[in-house]
């Protein structure tokens, strides 16, 4: 099982934070590249700008008012130039901007000033080009030189022309402004005249339609005899006649009914008692009324006499005779009244019949008039509509005729363009500044890009996250501190050096990586050659020996053994001879100039190192060495080159990887780790070797490992000797 004991982190308080010192160190590391790229880009930009042709600029300004002067008062213009509405004004100004920058206006400029068509300053001669194509090309060239700007919170438009000829710029700018101003009025007048022609045409049609409608109305009146009296008057007369005769008919009918009732009552009275009839029946017959009153009087007298004297008086007979005579006279007068009633009744009936006939005639006439009214109103509406349309078109024709003569314009020139001999481009100074900025950006991008794209192992994170191994520590480069003599023994000669301190940190981390079971046998290997594993083996052995442990270094790199050279001992006897039984432990193990540090050299190089290391005798030798010494460290070949390291990992307590900073790739370390894990899953961790503390990746380590025991170096040395 892999150890997950965290390594000592001298910059633990700054972990996961942005370290500006790292970025500054990267910049210092690649400063010359940054300077070279920046100078190259700046120079290239300046030279490129200096070689460009000079460009000049001239501009005219115009004012575009929201509305043209209202010469015709409140009349609605056929073509309105602008509006008083803010939203419409914004659209109007944007439209004018589009027109100013359009190819159409450029063509109008060429058509207005034909000398531009063959001006070589605008477009060099092109033999074989058709006139239309030449016009299109020249207009496109003018359009390409044009720049239009709108003043902020104003109605001022700037028309700028840029060209290599400073005299051509103001000419084109003024031409464009003049054509735009004139074309604005011409377009208005052209559309107004076109509208006037349309209105005139429609006016002639309306006049003909009005004449036809009036003639049709007159013909209808003649045909229906309604010339002297209008149709409305005839309708009124018929209405009055119908009303009069209807009233008369009703009166005649009522009179007839009354007469019929009176005749019936009168006939009944004549047959019966005339005195029973109401006195109102005799209102129109004074004679009958007088006889009736006399009869009533005499009959009353008769009744009085009969009551007083009875039937025996002679006066009674006389009175009775007088009453009978009066009754006979009254009846005769009733017959006369009845004949008069019959005559009056016949007259009333004749009048009723006549009234009915007249009402029928008037009703038929009214129906005819109503049917004529529908056609008459159609003709009248047609005539009225035609007249109204004619009047409206006549008025509009007069207005459009006046508007066609109106030259009022809402666009006017503010300032004409003037030539300027000062070029606006190229701006060498600005190009230099731009090149400098581009060079800095590019150089920084390259510097940090190269740094970030580097797949080599450089940091603790690369080992822990990329290779998934415990980080044991770093070993700085010995080049600056080795001094004279063998560099492998420099930490023994300089125990207060940065390298020595880093090796002691490495020793401590190895001890704490397995607190339950001390790691007595270790194999040190690497993924590739020349990563410093032999140097690491020697340094690790020295610091362990200085800690008081009897430490044995075993050179099992039987392909390129180097430990005997590093420690200055003979290689005659060694591991290969002990495995085959040609020598014993006392003769093979050599002492070194470092107390408590011993070496078992490789011995003669065998032809088959891997098979030799897999033998039971070598396993027994490894066990014997572990019993004889406190610490045994095996130096092995690289993992990816041969299988020796994998074989050795089976007979030791743990494996330590040496990774050369900035040289070994993360992929190589990961592959080597997998090769070892397949045999012995326990890997103590990895050592980052040959570290340049000036590198931006190790700023925190540099400040940590530069700590020296300055205050009491002798005490520290004495303590080291005592531990040994």
Contact 457/659 with Cβ under 8 angstroms? Answer: yes
The DSSP H or E segment spanning 62 is strand 56-64
The reported pLDDT for the residue numbered 240 is: 81
| Alpha carbons 123 and 142: distance in angstroms, whole number | 9
- Report the half-sphere exposure of 76 (CA within 13 A, side-chain side): 5
Contact 342/270 with Cβ under 8 angstroms? Answer: no
CB within 8 Å of 245: residues ≥ 6 apart: 355, 358, 359, 362
The reported pLDDT for the residue numbered 294 is: 78
Exposed / middle / buried, residue 720 (Cβ in 10 Å: 0-12, 13-18, 19+): middle
| Alpha carbons 109 and 183: distance in angstroms, whole number | 10
H helix and E strand count, the chain? 23, 12
Listed residue (29, 7, 21, 28) closest to 703, CA to CA? 21
| Alpha carbons 386 and 155: distance in angstroms, whole number | 46
Contact 504/543 with Cβ under 8 angstroms? Answer: yes
Location of structure tokens 């490129």 = 48
Tokens, residue 715 = 């005490």
Contact 534/562 with Cβ under 8 angstroms? Answer: yes
| Alpha carbons 557 and 606: distance in angstroms, whole number | 11
How far from each other are the two terminal CA atoms of the chain, in whole angstroms?
Answer: 32
Average pLDDT of adjacent 10-residue blocks, the chain of 724 residues: 40 52 78 91 90 92 79 50 62 91 94 92 90 92 93 90 93 94 84 78 85 81 64 69 81 81 69 63 64 73 71 68 73 73 81 82 72 72 84 79 69 93 87 90 88 77 80 78 61 81 88 78 89 88 91 89 87 87 87 90 87 88 90 90 84 89 82 82 85 66 50 34 30
Distance of CA 65 to the CA centre of its chain: 34
The reported pLDDT for the residue numbered 17 is: 56
| Alpha carbons 393 and 204: distance in angstroms, whole number | 9
| Alpha carbons 317 and 338: distance in angstroms, whole number | 31
Q: Rounded to two decimals, what is the model's pTM?
A: 0.47
The reported pLDDT for the residue numbered 529 is: 87
Cis peptide before 519 (omega within 30 of 0): no
| Alpha carbons 101 and 144: distance in angstroms, whole number | 9
Exposed / middle / buried, residue 494 (Cβ in 10 Å: 0-12, 13-18, 19+): middle
CB within 8 Å of 600: residues ≥ 6 apart: 552, 553, 554, 555, 574, 575, 578, 588, 589, 590, 625
- SS3 category, 301: helix
The reported pLDDT for the residue numbered 454 is: 72
């Amino acid at each position: 099982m892999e150890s997950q004991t965290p390594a000592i982190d001298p910059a633990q308080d700054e972990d996961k934070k942005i370290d500006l010192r790292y970025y500054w160190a990267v910049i210092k590391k690649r400063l010359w590249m940054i300077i070279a790229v920046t100078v190259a880009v700046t120079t290239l930009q300046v030279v490129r700008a200096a070689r460009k042709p000079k460009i000049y600029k001239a501009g005219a300004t115009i004012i575009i008012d929201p509305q043209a002067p209202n010469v015709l008062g409140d009349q609605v213009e056929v073509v309105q130039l602008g509006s008083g509405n803010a939203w419409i004004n914004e659209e109007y100004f944007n439209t004018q901007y589009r027109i100013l920058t359009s190819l159409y206006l450029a063509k109008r400029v060429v058509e207005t000033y034909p000398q531009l068509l063959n001006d070589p300053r605008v477009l060099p001669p092109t033999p074989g080009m058709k006139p239309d194509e030449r016009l299109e090309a020249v207009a496109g060239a003018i359009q390409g030189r044009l720049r239009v700007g709108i003043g902020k919170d104003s109605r001022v438009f700037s028309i700028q022309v840029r060209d290599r000829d400073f005299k051509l710029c103001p000419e084109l700018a003024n031409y464009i402004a003049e054509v735009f101003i004139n074309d604005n009025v011409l377009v208005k007048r052209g559309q107004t005249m076109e509208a006037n022609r349309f209105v005139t045409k429609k006016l002639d049609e309306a006049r003909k339609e009005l004449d036809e409608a009036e003639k049709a109305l007159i013909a209808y009146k003649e045909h229906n005899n309604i010339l002297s009296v209008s149709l409305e008057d005839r309708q009124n007369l018929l209405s009055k006649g119908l009303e009069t005769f209807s009233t008369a008919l009703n009166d005649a009918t009522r009179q007839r009914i009354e007469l019929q009732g009176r005749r019936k009552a009168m006939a009944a009275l004549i047959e019966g008692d005339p005195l029973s009839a109401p006195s109102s029946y005799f209102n129109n017959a004074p004679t009958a009324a007088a006889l009736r009153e006399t009869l009533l009087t005499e009959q009353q007298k008769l009744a009085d006499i009969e009551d007083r004297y009875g039937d025996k008086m002679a006066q009674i007979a006389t009175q009775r005779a007088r009453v009978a005579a009066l009754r006979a006279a009254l009846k005769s007068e009733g017959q006369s009244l009845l004949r008069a009633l019959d005559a009056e009744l016949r007259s009333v009936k004749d009048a009723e019949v006549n009234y009915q006939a007249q009402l029928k005639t008037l009703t038929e006439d009214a129906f005819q008039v109503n049917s004529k009214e529908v056609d008459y109103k159609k003709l009248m509406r047609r005539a009225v509509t035609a007249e109204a349309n004619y009047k409206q078109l006549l008025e509009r024709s007069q207005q459009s005729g006046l508007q066609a003569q109106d030259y009022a314009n809402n666009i006017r020139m503010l300032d004409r363009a003037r030539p300027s001999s000062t070029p606006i481009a190229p701006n060498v100074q600005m190009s230099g500044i731009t090149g400098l900025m581009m060079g800095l950006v590019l150089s920084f991008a390259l510097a940090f890009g190269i740094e970030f794209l580097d797949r080599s192992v450089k940091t603790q994170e690369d080992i822990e996250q990329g290779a998934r191994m415990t980080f044991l520590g770093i070993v700085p480069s010995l080049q600056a501190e080795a001094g004279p003599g063998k560099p492998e023994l420099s930490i023994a000669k300089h125990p207060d050096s940065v390298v020595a301190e880093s090796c002691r940190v490495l020793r401590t981390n190895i001890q704490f990586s397995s607190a339950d079971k001390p790691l007595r046998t270790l194999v040190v290997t690497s993924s590739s050659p020349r990563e410093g594993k032999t140097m690491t083996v020697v340094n690790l052995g020295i610091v362990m020996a200085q800690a008081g442990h009897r430490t044995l270094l075993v050179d099992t790199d039987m392909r390129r053994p180097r430990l005997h050279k590093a420690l200055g001992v003979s290689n005659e006897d060694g591991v290969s001879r002990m495995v085959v039984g040609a020598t014993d432990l006392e003769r093979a193990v050599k002492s070194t100039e470092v107390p408590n540090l011993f070496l078992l050299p490789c011995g003669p190089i065998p032809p088959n190192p891997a098979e030799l290391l897999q033998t039971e005798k070598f396993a027994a030798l490894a066990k014997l060495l572990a019993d004889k010494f406190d610490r045994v460290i095996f130096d092995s070949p690289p993992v990816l080159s041969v299988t020796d390291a994998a074989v050795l990992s089976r007979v030791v307590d743990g494996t330590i990887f040496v990774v050369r900073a900035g040289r070994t790739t993360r992929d190589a370390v990961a592959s080597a780790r997998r090769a070892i894990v397949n045999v012995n899953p326990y890997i103590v961790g990895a050592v980052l070797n040959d570290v340049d503390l000036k590198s931006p990746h190790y700023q925190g380590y540099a400040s940590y490992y530069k700590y020296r025991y300055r205050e009491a170096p002798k005490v520290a040395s004495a303590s080291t000797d005592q531990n040994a």
